[in-house]
Amino acid sequence: MFHRLSTDMLNLIMIIGVALFIIEIAFFHGGMLFPALFAVLMIYVGRKYFYQMWGKIIFWLGVVSLVFSILNMMAVRFLLVAGIVLFIHDYWKTRHDVTQIQPILTYDDNPEEPLEQIKPLFNHQLFGDQKTDERVYKWRDINIHGGIGNRIVDLSNTVLPNDTIVVSIRHVLGKIEVYVPYEVEVSIQHSAVFGRANIFGKKHWKLMNQSLIYQTKEYDNVANPRVKIITSLFSGDIEVKRI
């Protein structure tokens, strides 16, 4: 169902949901946010003492309270209603769409280009840590965004192509570590709202909505391979070092 939605429609639904969530917090004394946070606290305490009977009771009471608190939020109810309406619309449309059989023409004005799909080194992952393979692996440029966790890229376990390779990581919370071989020239562009940076020994202990740009002395003069690192963090640290 959702794969048929346009990006604009999906963005509109998400914007309305976020707006309702903000309105509920701002104009309804927090709405169901505080009961939800209290339920999370109950779950945490109950999970910590789950081996005792009272811990089990608090845990499951917290789970039930959290479910009801979430379902009573205006934003969640809007998303549920929107989902139901989209499901009914999609079902109605598929029932009234007429399947047409058309002849297959051998002549193609715009023939399909032969392509090879390549598996990326990293996937877009909201939670958890990711790192490159500890064994020798084939290099593929990295272009990912993530949520919470650490990202470790070790370039010493791969054969770098004779080209400018790119490591692009956009992340919310966590640490980014990039290990670069000694013979490779490097360019680094890093931005962070909060965090710290250690780039080849150049240390910045308090980044506050800043951008850093570094490159090794021979980056513009050397022949390939060379590495271009582009990273952004909301809150977290970056470390780039030789290995």
Helices (H), 49-183: 53-71, 74-96
CA distance 232 to 198: 14
DSSP 137: B
3-class DSSP state for residue 212? strand
CA distance 192 to 186: 19
pLDDT score of 94: 67
pLDDT score of 167: 92
Domain boundaries, the chain: 2-96, 130-242
pTM, 2 dp: 0.57
Tokens 């490591």 belong to 167
pLDDT score of 6: 60
pLDDT score of 37: 87
Query: In a structure prediction context, what are the per-residue pLDDT tens digits for the chain, which is 243 residues long?
Result: 555 556 667 667 778 888 888 888 877 777 777 888 888 899 888 888 888 888 889 989 999 998 888 888 888 888 888 888 877 877 777 666 555 555 555 555 566 677 777 787 877 777 778 888 888 888 888 898 888 888 999 998 888 888 889 999 998 888 999 999 988 999 999 999 888 899 998 999 888 889 999 999 988 887 778 999 999 998 889 999 998
Backbone angles phi, psi at 211, to 5 degrees: -125, 140
Cα torsion at 201, 206, 212, 216 (round to 10°)?
Answer: 0
